Amino acid sequence: MPKKIIIAIVVLLVIVMGLFAYIYISQEFLGKPVGENSIESHWALVIFVVTAILTYYVSRLKILTRVDDKNLTMSLGVIGKRQFALDSIQSVKDYEGNPAADFLGYGYRIAIKQTGYIGRGEQAITLKIQNHKRELVITTDNPEELKKALENSSQG
């Protein structure tokens, strides 16, 4: 994701955290009564903690791409880990277009003929993988380096 969008999301989540922290503190420590349209203090605390965890995760979110001797490993942060054997990759080519616009967003995306790991990188490569109906699109800051790593690992 572009850095500006991540900053905007983190700021919004911090504002939400602040509101629920205020509700919790005002009810528990300042002794203000729970109004008709307010939530109980324990729920405010739960929402605050969940929002804090979500804020931390979003601020650290990135797509990880690893190439070793046998596999290409893709993951979205700590979730969504997938491995592809290097010998199953039939072709590697540059992606034409804007991946974020074509896939309507960032993250793990599924389109009609393609699956994408769409991140902050503005450039991407497309992999045709044996026994997969969809091509795999991977965004990267340096597509030539990723293509070279895939070619070197599959040959060695």
Q: What pLDDT score was predicted for residue 34?
A: 74
pLDDT at residue 104 tops 80: yes
pLDDT at residue 154 tops 80: no
Q: What pLDDT score was predicted for residue 62?
A: 77
One domain, residues 21 and 94: no
One domain, residues 35 and 104: no
Please compute the mean of the pLDDT values over residues 134-145 and round it to a whole number. Answer: 91
Domain C-terminal end among 60, 89, 106: 60
The rounded distance, in Å, linking the Cα atoms of 125 and 130 is 16
One domain, residues 71 and 119: yes
Q: What pLDDT score was predicted for residue 122?
A: 81
Q: How many domains, in total, are found in the chain?
A: 2
One domain, residues 111 and 35: no
Q: What is the mean pLDDT of the chain?
A: 86
**For a pLDDT cut of 90, what percent of the chain falls above it?**
37
The answer to whether residues 125 and 140 touch, using CB atoms and an 8 Å cutoff, is yes
Which own/partner contact pairs does 132-137 have at CB distance under 8 Å and 24+ positions apart?
Answer: 134/110, 136/74, 136/84, 137/95, 137/99, 137/103
Q: What pLDDT score was predicted for residue 15?
A: 93
